Structure 1
Amino acid sequence: MRSKFDEQLNLLNQEMLHMGTMIEESIQEAIEAFINQDIEKAHKIMDGDEEIDHEQKKIENICFNLLMQQQPVARDLRTISAAMKMVTDMERIGDHASDISEMTVMMSKTEYKVNIEDVKKMATETMLMLIRSIEAYVEKDNKKAECVMKHDDIVDNLFDAVKKEIIDFIRESPDNGEQAADLLMVAKYFERIGDHATNIAEWVQFALDDKKEKK
């Protein structure tokens, strides 16, 4: 019985890795579409969001099956509980990739008038956080998870800088206010991705630490 349980745990790990790869690719492509105003790529990302949703449901079903097979020991229960929480954050990251792509399409009619360098920096930093949070799960690395959580301050500070720049831009160029507001929304999506990556890192720590509690 335990052998079958361990096989299912291994399957859970494989599917978690697969979903992690899916959202990493989705975010990376969303960044490229945003920077290059690539409408075709943006639409492709939006269309692909259903595949991420399907993978979330697949992982949740594996978790439910594990819980029903036998009474998991405490460590197993933390692993399964963490996975169920993590896929929710991963699915939301996929949603934000689609959201950013939707904004990219909306802004595609004109070239960017606002300086997007700090938004690009946010994209780079959030992508790094996402990759590290998935690595922390794969490698069962508490320290790497901790680094992701600390890195969130960098993204938050960049968002504050973007917000200030956009407010100043709107004051100086009110005719371009709509595009500026849309860019602020894109920056907000990247900030949220950083928050979700932080949540993933926290759940990694929860799964690994016998003494750690998380509500």
Structure 2
Amino acid sequence: MRNKLEAELKDLKKEVLRMGQMVSEMIDSAVLSLVRQDPALAQQVIDRDDEIDRLLITIEMRCLQLMALQQPMARDLRTVGTGLKIVTDLERMADHATDIAEVTQKLAGEPLIKPLIDIPRMATLAQEMVRAALDAFVDEDEAAARAMIARDHEMDALYKAVFDELVEMMERDPRVVRQATHLLHVAGWLERIGDHATNLGEWTIYQLTGELSNLNT
């Protein structure tokens, strides 16, 4: 029974990692579609959201079956519970990537009011945080989870830079308000993805220690 449970938990981690990779790709493609003003690429992101939703249900069912049939205890039970929490955060990240792709479509054919520099940086950081969080979960590495959470300060600083610049542009020229507002939303969604990534780290720490703390301060 123990060997079967260990195999099931290993498969669960693989499925969570696969979902995380898909979400990371969505984030990358969504922001790339905005930078390139490519509505077709944006549509690919939007279409993929349904795939994420289906995978979420599949993993949730696997977790529930594990709890019902294998009756994991202590740390094993926390691993299953952490898997359930992580995929919920991943699904919300996918929703934000879809939101960004929809902005691309709204701005299609409209010249950008400024070159996008910090927004792509935010996307890259978000992907790095997601990958690091998932690696920490799979490897059961508390130190790596804490190091990833600490990077949220970088995300907050980038968001503030984008926010300040766009607000200043709107104050100078009311004609840019519509597009600048959309770009502010994009930056806000990326910042939220960073918050969800810190949630992944916090749940991994809970899995390993049994203690749940809010480290996103």
Question: Could you say whether these structures have the same fold, taking a TM-score greater than 0.5 normalized by the shorter chain as the test?
Answer: yes
Deviation at 1:37, TM superposition (A): 1.0
Please name the residue that 1:35 is paired with.
35
Question: Aligned to 1:72, what secondary structure does the other structure show?
Answer: coil
Report if the CA contact (8 A) 1:5-1:69 is conserved. Answer: no
- Higher alpha-carbon deviation: 193-202 or 28-37: 28-37
Aligned to 1:190: 190
Residue 92 of structure 2 is aligned to residue 92 of structure 1: yes
Deviation at 1:22, TM superposition (A): 1.0
TM-score (norm 2): 0.93
How far apart are the structure 2 equivalents of 1:39 and 1:26? 14
Deviation digits for residues 67-109 of structure 1 (CA, Å, limit 9, x no counterpart) = 1014322011110111100000000111111111001111122
Matches within 5 A, 1:93-112: 93-112=93-112
Q: Determine the structure 2 residue equivalent to 1:213.
A: 212
Alpha-carbon displacement from aligned partner over 1:15-50 (angstroms, at most 9, x marks no partner)? 111111111111111121121111110001101101
C-alpha distance in 2, partners of 1:16/1:36?
30
Post-superposition Cα deviations, 1:176-204, rounded to whole Å, max 9, x if no partner, equal 11000000000001000000011011111
Q: Which residue of 2 aligns with 1:202?
A: 202
CA positional deviation for 1:115: 4.1
How many angstroms does 1:5 deviate by?
2.4
Aligned-partner Cα distance in 2 for 1:136–1:63: 19
The unaligned stretches of length 5 or more in structure 2 are none
Give the Cα–Cα distance (whole angstroms) in 2 for the partners of residues 72 and 178 of structure 1: 52
CA RMSD in angstroms comes to 1.5
Residue 209 of structure 1 and its aligned partner are, at CA, apart by: 1.8
CA contact (8 A) 2:203 2:212 kept: no
Q: Provide closer, same or farther for how the CA distance between residues 171 and 213 of structure 1 changes in structure 2, counting only shifts above 3 A.
A: closer
Number of matched pairs: 214
2:208 maps to amino acid: L
- Structure 1 gaps of 5+ residues are none
Q: Aligned residues: percent identity?
A: 38
Q: Following the alignment from structure 1 to structure 2, what is the Cα–Cα distance between the partners of residues 155 and 182? A: 19
- Contact 2:28/2:124 (8 A) holds in 1: no
